[in-house]
Amino acid sequence: MNTPPFLDGALPIKIGNRLYGCGSCQAVCPMQTATPVPHPGELKELLYLPAFTEACLAGKKALAPLLPYIGANYIRPVRFLCLAAVAMQNTGDQSYLPLLEHLCSYREPRVRAQAEWAAERLRRLHG
C-alpha cells in the first residue's frame, strides 16, 4: 500500500521551515491559552533541525523542553517528524539528505512517505 505524504501539494512549500503554528494561531487557540508565545531566539537551539529530529525519534519525553512553548497538544513526534522533513526540503540544503534518508526507513508510514517526498524534491533541486 502506498501511503501519501502527511503534507502534499502546494502546502509544504507554503509552510516553509515552520515546525508549528504561527504565534497568532498559538495565542488564540483555546488549548494554548496558558502557553506563552516564545521569542524566536528562545527556540533556536531546541528547533535546530538535526537535534530536533533526533528528539522526535526518541519520543515525547525527549520533546519535553518544548512543552512550555507549544503545549502538550502539539507534542506529537510523528507530526513533527513530517514537518521536519518538509522544513529540511524547504531549506534547499543537501546536507539534510542523510537525515531524510534515515527517516525514509522510519516505522511510521506517514513519516516515511514525507521523508521520501522531501528527499526526492531535494535531490531534484540539486539535479
Query: What is the residue extent of each domain of the chain?
Result: 11-125
Cα 9 from chain centroid?
17
Q: Using an 8 Å Cβ cutoff, are 32 and 73 in contact?
A: yes
On the question of pLDDT at 42 being above 80, the answer is: no
- Inter-residue contact 105 to 112 (CB < 8 Å): yes
Give the pLDDT score at 116. Answer: 95
Nearest to 52 by CA among 42, 66, 40, 41: 66
Mean pLDDT across the stretch 52-58? Answer: 92
Neighbour-count burial for 23-60, b at 16+ CB within 10 Å, e otherwise: eeebeeeeebeebeeeeeeebeebbebeebbebbbeee
Q: Is the pLDDT of residue 102 over 90?
A: yes
Average pLDDT, the chain: 79
